[in-house]
Structure 1
């Protein structure tokens, strides 16, 4: 079957790309590699910095808690846990709307708006005087951070093909892991300013990190293009190559330039979207609990506050290196589950050690945090890439990403409650046990997704030309198109 015949269902493709002959879809591999290097040079670093400051501002509450905030704001009982939890209440409420309005609101305006807004909130958090004030800042922080990740994931999918996305989306989760390392170093340095200008060390932590973020937000207004067509760092020949790449994908994805309500409905009706979202919930229970409470967990091993801030750094650096390696391999071999399942089981081993090793074995318990961190960011990040790869066209993908993130991030509500700072023995048994169960369930979910997608691919491989024509005549497009193949 010809490419033109298989692409007959694409709406107005000739009108939308007048400079590109529909039959001229060949790409010079060397030119494409150079283009990808340029995208990685200009686009990826910006997205990494955005996500880095987001995670710094989100998770610094754990560092602040052991640097005096708990005493200053009288966070007795489970008040710290409630503050952590309430962030996710507003966070999950705005993810789907943010991803759906991204195209109309323009990435170059919406994303900087999010960054500047939450930066102002975190600066305000440096001056709160009560538990109620802390709660207010956490709720607002959740509102403004909610749209960043689904918007960045969707944004990157408009520049990269699906088989190129794991490595690029991995950069966001590397940023999340590195934020823990930077957060530990910043906390170590900034809390040392305790008393300067009358501010406690934890207030300096919020203030300086908020200022850093607001500078990033202001710069992003001028640096972030809405699309490859408006990217100031792409030459015209490179934009032509981007149009060809876009058309190669668009032939069977049926991308729509206007809001398509039917694609939104398809995402909500798709079982694999819900399976992906369920797995994300389980994995995020680990990610949010570990990322927020690692300083508390380490302090429970018997380390003092200052040393605890520094000991978080190697754990996060290790997690970053592992994730970079795994994401490169995932894209190279064009596989997801074969990496995700083993990584999830390594993390499960780490939680098992933290539950079973005697508290006196401090070195072994610290090693267990490395095992735990090994798989957390890998499985969370690759699962986001997987749902982006597995859904098309644009508005179905946008809805699927938003739905997965909404359900997945609601795990933060639970993660904020299971690590009770009042645990008397420093073990945090409930937190580790719930996280262990979550990561094991996620591993089974990834295997189930692999089996389902592989079955669909095999069925499509066996379809005759006549069967494919019948599918097209029935209006099948996007990931339902007979030529679409899922990455497994």
Structure 2
């Protein structure tokens, strides 16, 4: 038997030392049956709360389109581009507070900040039922944007406290399904409530604002009592389930390259988000997709009425379009999580949406059925692209405050598209076709498809570079303080 030399012993000791450094933290074993049961419980209790909150938010935001064709334009003398200005001003205040709201969510407590948002905008919508002039409409839209500004980044960040990155696409998809369903629900409400025109001296569109505002107010009040700050204070989780969630977070911390901070505000993580080119690319893609999303969801009733349908029938015709968009998104989000892929779905769906816009641009206005079908084609990819891109930025940033800043930055840049979307849908010719709106939208969604492809290429390159690292290179990266998504063990979702 050969006795190891001094050099061989030294080499063996060096290897063992490196292995110890790389594997010092072992993954905690989790019972898959218990974990599956926990996820089911989260989906039955937490997700419906998030969906309901987001549904009433979009309901109150987009009802201006339904109100416009139900008599509001005539009652408030919204001539020229006044409706477009009112839509645009919502996003001026909407984009101003998104980053601060997401970064301060933990400090201000979700159980207080989120209900504050809901109750605030509900009061504004109720007040909007009694406005008498154009100036009052502008004031309500500015206030509505301010109160709704931080909701989405806060909700997505809140969901990331409970779900692992690979579980988040489907849960974030529920929020965008809620936004699509709000269009369907809003169309049905508009159809029913506008028939109350003249009851108690209120026009139909005023009833629409009043009833939807009251619904939102009730949701906001309920949220105060039902929404916990985190899973540690969740009244509907037992101690075993809280321990399981702690272990899941610890394993995820290991998987994500030891995410940097959890509680204390870390300015370095905020700076990292602003310096990350991937965050800016993702945000630019969100701007492009949101140009379509905001224009489509706000002006769909106006677009369909332009095909030659009556105002009352138009309210009902918006409903199937939103139901179709919801069904497609739920299906795509499921498979996106199942295969752990984002760009694979986003690029082709963006191109399908561009075909829908091309149809609305090129099909003769006399072909009413084909034009209505085109709205389904257009809706197919809009919500999928917007929603999966939000999930993508969550998956691509580790470190609580880096992720929070990235989400807030993405939403700020993405939602600034609303300023443009509110201005592009104007009738530019005698046949009622919205040429500028459709042309800008087809350009935006095609550009977004290119951006998604570029993001895929960049992230795949980073993953391959890390997979090719030697043990010495990994140790040097760790010793240099590269944590979070910069850690050599972190892998980006493609």
Which TM-score band applies after superposition, normalised by the shorter structure? Answer: over 0.9
Equivalent of residue 193 in structure 2, options 187, 190, 194: 190
Contact 1:457 1:485 in 2 (8 A): yes
TM-score by length of 1: 0.96
Q: Give the aligned partner of residue 432 of structure 2.
A: 426
Q: CA deviation at 1:53?
A: 0.2
CA–CA distance in structure 2, aligned partners of residues 297 and 422 of structure 1: 13
Q: Deviations over 1:273-331 (max 9, x none)?
A: 00000000000000000000000000000000000000000000000000000000000
Task: Specify which of 450, 464, 487 is matched with residue 481 of structure 1.
Answer: 487
Distance apart, 1:392 and its partner CA: 1.2
Aligned position for 2:282: 276
Q: Is the 8 A contact 1:279 1:442 kept in 2?
A: yes
Map of 1:360 onto structure 2: 366
Question: Counterpart of 1:469?
Answer: 475
Shift of 1:422: 6.8
| Match among 323, 344, 349 for residue 338 of structure 1 | 344
1:318 lines up with 2:321 in the alignment = no
Aligned to 1:302: 308
CA-CA distance at 1:201 after TM superposition: 0.2
Question: Aligned residues, how many?
Answer: 475
Per the normalisation by structure 2, the TM-score is: 0.95
* CA distance in structure 1 between the aligned counterparts of 2:172 and 2:128, rounded to whole angstroms: 30
Structure 1 residues 4, 427: CA separation in 2 closer, same or farther (over 3 Å shift)? farther
Question: Aligned in 2, Cα 1:174/1:31: closer, same or farther, shift over 3 Å?
Answer: same
Partner of 1:5: 21
Q: State the Cα deviation string for residues 414-440 of structure 1 (Å, max 9, x = none).
A: 000000157532110000000000000
Paired position in structure 2 for 1:16? none
Between structure 1 and structure 2, the one with the greater Rg is 2
Correspondence for 1:41: 44
5+ unaligned residues in a row in structure 1: which ranges? 9-21
- Cα displacement string for residues 334-360 of structure 1 (whole angstroms, at most 9, x for unaligned residues): 000000001001100000000000000
Query: Is residue 419 of structure 2 the alignment partner of residue 413 of structure 1?
Result: yes
Q: Measure how far apart 1:147 and its partner are.
A: 0.5
When structure 1 is superposed on structure 2, of 243-252 and 51-60 the one drifting more is 243-252
| Gap change, CA 1:4 and 1:141, over 3 Å in 2 | farther
Q: Deviations over 1:386-444 (max 9, x none)?
A: 00110110000000000000000000000000001575321100000000000000000
Q: Which residue of 2 aligns with 1:32?
A: 35
Query: 1: CA distance between counterparts of 2:350 and 2:237?
Result: 39
Cα separation, 1, equivalents of 2:177 and 2:85: 27
Per-residue CA shift, 1:6-47, capped at 9, x if unaligned? 487xxxxxxxxxxxxx75611111111111101111110000
Tell me the distance in 1 between the aligned counterparts of 2:394 and 2:23: 21
Unaligned runs of at least 5 residues, structure 2: 1-15
Residue in 2 aligned with 1:218?
221
Distance in 1 of aligned mates of 2:293 and 2:19: 43
